[in-house]
Structure 1
């Protein structure tokens, strides 16, 4: 399956402020990605990232 371009999602989003609560480990994985990039994540880190993305998705498009 070919991923859709970013423009596909414009009708689903409005932008603006989105807030969510992060666990300490989710916050840590954000900092690790900032420092080393997504390719540096191990399987546990990826699980945390997916959890964080799920929380953000629920705020953006419930």
Structure 2
């Protein structure tokens, strides 16, 4: 993301990822990770995204 858009500022943009390697890359880039899968309670990205949207709907509308 930052390679293609070096002036990117996350602000209120939510970032989600799948897998520990991608999560580490997001965090190493200094970005906030808002939605991650798989996790025990969210085995799929669809489940993680659904939970994220249910819990954060008003913040990202």
Task: Output the TM-score relative to the length of structure 1.
Answer: 0.28
Task: Point out which structure has higher relative CO (alpha carbons under 8 A, 6+ apart).
Answer: 1
Q: Greater share of helix residues, 1 or 2?
A: 1
Q: Greater share of strand residues, 1 or 2?
A: 2
Which structure: larger Rg? Answer: 1
